[in-house]
Amino acid sequence: MNQLEAKVLHYRTSGQIILCEFETFGSEVTAVILDSPGELAYLKEGNSLNILFKETEVIIATGEIGQLSLNNRFSGRITSMEKGEIFTSLSIDFGTGITSVITTKSVNRLGLAVGTEVTALVKANEIAIGRRD
């Protein structure tokens, strides 16, 4: 599980849906949370909290991406790879580290290697938030 410290920039609600904007290591992150703001007392503008997302939810892109509806983008460099027969785990540094697990077929097709510049993408509905202890 990827876990990053983030600062709450702002949020807005519509019923039980919360759209949150965060800043983490120079990147802006959007999360869609299905909960009541009253249940998340730590969700206050300016507060630090953790954002979490699975390694398997991190999409990897190279080169020019173009226009996408996906907002959460972390530009960095692959610092290590654990290549398996079916899946490969990539460590990506963008000021801090995150991990992506993608198919080895995709790694080969994209020509990924340690040192490759990539953009890691995560859908807003795949991000969870948690209290910082």
Q: Which tens digit of pLDDT belongs to each residue from 27-51?
A: 999 999 987 666 777 788 999 999 9
Section 70-84 average pLDDT: 95
DSSP class of residue 55 equals G
β-bridge partners, 79 = none
Model confidence at 112, pLDDT cuts 50, 70, 90, reads: very high
Give kind and range of the element (H or E) at residue 104: helix 104-110
Handedness of CA 55, 30, 126, 60 (dihedral sign): negative
User: What is the distance between the alpha carbons of residues 21 and 45, in angstroms, rounded to a whole number?
Assistant: 9
More confident residue, 91 or 71: 91
Domains held by the chain: number:
1
- The pLDDT of residue 82 is 98
CATH number at residue 65: 2.40.50.100
| pTM reported for the whole predicted model | 0.90
Q: Which domain holds residue 69?
A: 2-131
Q: How does strand 128-131 pair with strand 48-53?
A: antiparallel
Q: Is residue 21 within 8 Å of 11, Cβ to Cβ?
A: yes
Amino acid identity for residue 65 in this structure? I
Amino acid identity for residue 107 in this structure? V
